[in-house]
Chains A and B, each alone.
Chain A
Amino acid sequence: MLRPVSLVPALALALALPARAADVPIGHLADQSGATSDVGVPYAQGVADALAWINRKGGVGGQKLAVESVDYGYQVPRAVAQYKKWTSGRDKVAAIQGWGTADTEALSAFVAKDEVPYISGSYAAQVSDPTGASGKAKAAPYNFFYGPTYSDALRAMLLWAAEDWKAKGKPGKPKYVHMGGNHPYPNSPKEAGEAMARDLGFEVLPAIVFALAPGDYTAQCLTAKNAGANYAYLGNTGGSNISLLKSCKAAGADIQFMGNVWGMDENAAKAAGEAADGVVFPVRTAAVTGGSAPGLKTIAEISKESDPNGTVYRPVHYLSGVCAALYMVEAIGWAKDNGGIAGPNVRKGFYQKKNWVPAGMEGVCVPSTWSENDHRGMMTVSIYRARVSGPTEGAIADLMKAGTVKLEPVKTVELPRKPDWFGW
């Protein structure tokens, strides 16, 4: 058939084809320029490095992964258009590494129809229900993610907050407020968090909206301060949270902030300086850079894919990106040995083991379990606190080494796999 592709790339392709014929096409959707690029860049780097490392070691059972990374600028229409390209008949992708909540939800019906496993960077509880049995969300049989759902992470932090309030011996009801952009991602755990907060005896204040991009959020801080908020959930990513924390510090608001998994990291703590001191947030991995877990050695090796000198500091999102990619690789590996690399088989690959950790990632990736009826990979939520004890000029690696910026573990909450928490 005639395919009028422009000549140069066509020739290049033709030359490369014989060697690439057996490659497994993988789509990789990343936000490197949009509203969540502050955390999107390290996560995408983790994914890309892990897949490149797999290829360097010989691929999946001798087959290389042909990864196409695309920056979609955190815009749903661009993600949908890119998805259509990837699922064209000729070289349909075997799986996709995705990113944001809005696009993951938008694509959920498509990936189910086309049977393409979609491992996203969004942990919205809405896409954790593969059958729709919860009645709270539509069936999302091909959606996977590595981490606790946003809702479960918030539930765990609220459990901690209730204890914290008691431990501090303060009188009366603590006040809880949900803060974040008016966007599916910050909105995703809003209802679950507010319901849980009410159950735990919090007074729930009206939610406060602040944009996903960095800006001046003094007005929002003063609103929260005047309402007397004690605990606030930050639904946005690092960049805009930094702005908010700084504004709140300047406004003198005494609020215990709780970031979500994307809401705080080493770089954000450095950028926010003292304003970030004391913010608690969930970490998806069992260890952070600088720890002693055996899997961190593998991370150091993977990191060399994009940093041969081994000097770049890898934040928590990088580690999570590696885990997400390696779970997918093992599922593809199982599919290859059991009937071939096709979407439905790769999906089955995720269900083969219980509480599993990808090879070489012991102590880093939290043991996860996916089943045909429940895509909540983990119910374990490790809560950390960002500590900043001095001026934060200089490289992040030095600051972490000197202890100026620290991530200290606060509590690990093991949530029950409650059916009524499922899907929202």
Chain B
Amino acid sequence: MATQSLIPAGDFRASYAADTTIFPTAGSRYAVLAGIALLACAPLVLDRYWLSLLIQIGYFAVAALGLNILVGFTGQISIGHAAFFGFGAFASAWLSNTFSVPVFFAIPLAGVLTTAVGLVFGLPAARLKGLYLAIATLAAQYILQDFFARANWFTGGVAGTPAEAFSILGFAFDTDQRYFYVVLAYLVLTFVLATNLMRSRDGRALVAVRDHYLSAEMMGINLTRYRTLSFGLSAFFAGVGGGLYAHYLQFVSVEGFGILLSIQFLGMIIIGGLGSIMGTLMGTAFMVLVPEAMGWLTDAVKGSAVDRALALKDNLSFLREMAIGLVIVLFLIFEPDGLAHRWRQIKAYWKLYPFSH
């Protein structure tokens, strides 16, 4: 019966449904469900520090997923993703503060508002490509950041704005233990959404635009429409991620959404794997955990024989920052296709073992 959960040798797929299934075997489906169930137990066993890291991975992954749809699946470039993330955060806080919209609805609504903004900034994408588009998105970053600093009615200006805690029927999700479930729910929802999107007609059109825009156009794909749509979609996920972020920290400040965060988002999807849904999550986890791991390492080295021998002292913390950069550079050199690619190789290794060639 073991063959039930393994892909049989040879290609036996006889329908489109079998060809586009998310889980090729029952085993992989159970593994994902077990993974989610395991994660759902996390608040029971992990302390607040670890939960805060997981929550961070969660909201960043939702936003990074949007960027991966844009960059990885459609082949557009954006270096203004943090601004959309920020817009979502402010929009969600604004909706719940000003119009007393429950946070439960404010987060998806913020996603919708951000989509509108994304579509506007996506319009140049219909005509621009490559570096030109990159600079156009850079403009979006600056315009929105300036807007955040000036629009007192919307963002509280430079002083920032408080954001209410997420609650359902008066039950507040204001601790890390509780908020973790909110983020987990959104993470699962958005990842399923994105996976299904990529299996749909529109999703395949996006990939076609990326692979060869001329061929795509000849096949009847409306390039303008799909390029703009891709920006809108990307902004939607960024907005939802931003909303989750706002109601987690319960305070939104313009400072959090600089160009550096935009670059970090790019780092997440490049390290995770362009055009890979699973890779987005891996890359985000990598980008969130590497600085922490470097922190543990420097803490362990502090005051040790190595520290004394090299007289590092205060430079240790700078060493940490440099090491993060080094790890990323090494990663790009030795694993340019991202973590998702490595994961596929690991799977292939076991599948082919012991005949790897």
* Chain A: CB-nearest residue to B249: A80
Known: A9-B299, A106-B253. A76 touches B160 (CB 8 A): yes
Are B158 and A184 in contact (CB-based, < 8 A)?
Answer: yes
B349 proximal to A (CB < 8 A)? no
Given contact pairs A3-B46, A81-B249, a sample of 11 additional A-B residue pairs in the complex whose CB atoms are under 8 Å apart? A1-B45, A4-B45, A6-B296, A9-B299, A75-B253, A77-B253, A80-B251, A102-B253, A105-B159, A184-B159, A187-B158
25 residue pairs of the A-B complex, CB under 8 angstroms, read: A3-B46, A9-B300, A12-B300, A71-B317, A75-B255, A75-B256, A76-B253, A76-B255, A77-B255, A80-B251, A81-B56, A81-B249, A84-B48, A84-B176, A84-B249, A85-B48, A89-B48, A90-B48, A102-B158, A102-B253, A106-B251, A110-B250, A182-B149, A183-B158, A187-B158
Min CB distance A126 to B, Å, is 9
- B162 part of interface (Cβ distance < 8 Å): yes
Q: How far is the CB of A231 from chain B (nearest CB, A)?
A: 24
- How many Å lie between the Cα of A121 and that of B243 in the bound state? 30
A8 at the interface (CB under 8 A from B): yes
Within 8 A of B (CB), among A265-296: none
Question: Which of A3, A106, A183 has the most chain B CB within a 10 Å cutoff?
Answer: A106
Contact residues of B between 248 and 288, Cβ < 8 Å to A: 249-251, 253, 255-256
Question: How many residues in B have their beta carbons less than 8 Å from beta carbons of A?
Answer: 25
Is A54 an interface position by the 8 A CB rule? no
A400 at the interface (CB under 8 A from B): no
Q: Is the CB of B50 within 8 A of A4?
A: yes
Of all chain B residues, the one with the shortest Cβ separation from A71 is B317
Point out the residues of chain A lying under 8 angstroms from B300, CB to CB: 8-9, 12
Chain A interface main SS type: helix
Residues of chain B with a CB closer than 8 A to A3's CB: 45-47, 50
| Chain B residues near A311 (CB-CB < 8 A) | none
Q: Give residues in B with beta carbon < 8 Å to A.
A: 45-50, 52, 56, 149, 158-160, 162, 176, 249-251, 253, 255-256, 293, 296, 299-300, 317
What is the CA–CA distance of A90 and B50 in the complex, to the nearest angstrom? 12
Q: Which residues of chain A come closer than 8 Å to B249, judged between CB atoms?
A: 77, 80-81, 84
Report the contact-size class of chain A (Cβ under 8 Å from the partner).
20 to 34
At the interface, yes or no: A309 with Cβ under 8 Å from chain B?
no
- Taking CB atoms, residues of chain B closer than 8 Å to A89 are 47-48
Q: Are A84 and B158 in contact (CB under 8 A)?
A: no
C-alpha spacing A106/B254, complex, angstroms? 12
A6 touching B50 in the complex, CB below 8 Å, given contacts A75-B256, A76-B160: no
Q: Find A182's partner among B158, B160, B293, B299 (CB 8 Å cutoff).
A: B158
Inter-chain contact A88/B158, CB cutoff 8 Å: no
Contact of B49 (CB < 8 Å), options: A1, A88, A184: A88
Minimal beta-carbon separation of B246 from chain A (angstroms): 10
CA distance A75 to B260 in the complex (A): 12
Which residue of B has the minimal Cβ distance to A12? B300
- Chain A residues lying within 8 Å of B158, measured Cβ to Cβ, are 102, 182-184, 187
Q: Are B256 and A88 in contact (CB under 8 A)?
A: no
In the complex the two chains form, is B162's CB within 8 Å of A109's CB?
yes
| A167, CB-defined interface residue at 8 Å | no
- CB-based nearest A residue for B321: A33
Max chain A Cβ within 10 angstroms of own Cβ: one of B249, B250, B293: B249
Smallest Cβ distance from B210 to chain A, in angstroms? 33
Q: In the assembled complex, which residues on chain B have CB atoms less than 8 Å from the CB atom of A6?
A: 293, 296
Contact assessment for A8 and B296 in the assembled complex, using a CB-CB cutoff below 8 Å:
yes
Find B45's partner among A2, A8, A77 (CB 8 Å cutoff).
A2
Residue contact B296 to A90, C-beta cutoff 8 Å: no
Interface pair A85/B256, CB less than 8 Å apart: no
- Chain A residues whose C-beta falls within 8 Å of the C-beta of B149 in the assembled complex: 182
Residues from chain B with a CB closer than 8 A to the CB of A12 are 300
Shortest CB distance A392–B (Å)? 26
How far, in angstroms, from A4 to B160 measured CA to CA in the complex? 36
Query: Bound state CA distance, A76 and B86, in angstroms?
Result: 14
A263 to B253, CA, bound (A): 24
Task: Write out the residue numbers on chain A whose beta carbons fall within 8 Å of the beta carbon of B47.
Answer: 3, 88-90
The chain B residue sitting closest to A182, CB to CB, is B158
Taking CB as reference atom, which chain A residue is nearest B293?
A6
Given contacts A89-B47, A187-B158, whether A102 and B317 have CB atoms under 8 Å apart is no
Distance in angstroms from B94 CB to nearest chain A CB is: 17
Chain B residue at minimum C-beta to C-beta distance from A5: B50
Nearest CB of chain A from residue B324's CB, rounded to whole Å: 14
Q: Which residues of B contact A85 (CB under 8 A)?
A: 48-49, 52
- B162: chain A residues at CB < 8 Å are 109
Chain A residue numbers with a CB within 8 Å of B50 are: 3-4
